Amino acid sequence: MRVVILPESEAVAAFASQQIVDQVHRKPSSVLGLATGSSPLATYDALSRTCRQGAVSFSDVSTFNLDEYLGLGPDHPQSYRYFMNHRVFSGLDIDLAETHVPDGLCDEPFRACEAYENSIAEAGGIDLQLLGIGRNGHIGFNEPSSSLGSRTRVKTLSRDTVAANRRFFDEGEFQPTLALTMGIGTILDARKIVLLATGEAKSAAVKAMVEGPLTARCPASALQWHPDTTVIVDEPAARLLEDVQYYLRSEEGMQQLLFDDDG
Ligand code: GLP
């Protein structure tokens, strides 16, 4: 696991967006796995600026989102499809037909999950998966106790998650407690993973993910098993890490190697 600790959240967004731009430059027809939530917002804004400047194009890219609320359609402002269309894709030169989000209004959720897995496989698998992390260590909507080998399926949201996401819903508005989510096994199949975490509220989850045991109690700890995961955090999110000096030295070494490679 590569752990990159940066002074503040703006630097996290710049670093993460550069990872995605590099991926698309290496392979213009990349399949990207995308996340919602507040964590990747600044990264998406940076991508949109880079795209507007003409320094990257998403015209051949296809995307698969991690998850969607069961019961919310694409026109619902709190649905992840709505978020992606209005907040992310509208700023990129991407073909909307090549963007995929699980269907929150599907009639047969179990079949829809299987079909989602099949579409990822048909697209050739995910080249780069972007992730945030929940305060309870979830990735996508894989709540604590999720099988580390799980595939796309219906999950019941934990009380913590429902409470954390309540801020997006109006008082009295229906807030789903079920979601369709890629499984941890689906996420681990991605060739490269980039996870972002900012702010002190994420520090316990970051500690458990990076330095805790590999356990279904912290679904993100499964990333310790993945051969190419980069965790990008700001200093507040890194606050509880014990081996900060080691991560900083490793990153210096990594930057030196990358610089030597370029030069
Ligand atoms: C949500 C999403 C996750 C996201 C996480 C953190 O419930 N399902 O994909 O990473 O919670 O959200 P935020 O970035 O808003 O803190």
pLDDT digits (tens, 9 = 90+) for 70-82: 999 999 999 999 9
Look at residue 254 and give its three-state secondary structure. helix
CA pair distance 149, 154, nearest whole angstrom: 14
Say which DSSP state 196 is in: E
Q: Helices 41-52 and 9-26: crossing angle, nearest 10°?
A: 50
- In the chain, the DSSP E strands lie at 2-6, 31-34, 62-65, 67-69, 99-100, 128-131, 153-156, 178-181, 192-197, 229-234
User: For the whole model, what pTM was predicted?
Assistant: 0.96
Q: Residue 260: what pLDDT?
A: 82
Cβ–Cβ under 8 Å, residues 240 and 206: yes
Best residue for ligand 1 mutational test, from 138, 193, 195 (most atoms within 8 Å of Cβ): 138
pLDDT, tens digit (0-9, with 9 covering 90-100), for 22-64: 999 999 999 999 999 999 999 999 999 999 999 999 999 999 9
> Residue 263: what pLDDT?
62
Q: In 3-state terms, what secondary structure has residue 257?
A: helix
What phi and psi values does residue 63 have, to the nearest 5 degrees? Answer: -135, 150
Which residue of the set 67, 68, 103, 234 is catalytic?
67
**Ligand 1 pocket: which of 43, 81, 159, 165 to mutate (most atoms within 8 A of CB):** 165
Q: Is 226 annotated as catalytic?
A: no
Cβ atoms 198, 13 nearer than 8 A: no
d(CA 259, CA 100): 36
| Active-site residue flag, 138 | yes
- 100-131 pLDDT tens trace: 999 999 999 999 999 999 999 999 999 999 99
Report the b/e string of 161-170 with b at 16+ CB within 10 A. Answer: beebbeeeee
Euclidean distance between CA atoms 184 and 176, whole angstroms: 21
Residues having CB closer than 6 A to ligand 1 are: 35-39, 66-67, 132-134, 140-141, 161, 165
Q: Quick one: which atom of ligand 1 is closest to the CA of 37?
A: 15
Q: Using 50, 70 and 90 to split pLDDT, how confident is the model at 228? A: very high
Cα–Cα distance for residue pair 30/23, rounded to 1 Å? 7
Q: Any idea which of 108-112, 188-192, 223-227, 252-256 has the lowest mean pLDDT?
A: 252-256
Nearest CA to ligand 1 atom 6: 134
pLDDT for res 92: 98
- Evaluate whether 64 touches 126 at the Cβ level (below 8 Å): yes
Rg (CA), the chain: 18
Q: Is 143 a catalytic residue?
A: yes
Structural contact between residues 153 and 44, judged by C-beta atoms closer than 8 angstroms? no
Residue with the smallest CA separation from ligand 1 atom 5 is 134
For the chain, what is the mean pLDDT? 96
- Ligand 1 centroid, distance to 37 Cα (angstroms): 4
Handedness of CA 257, 128, 30, 52 (dihedral sign): negative
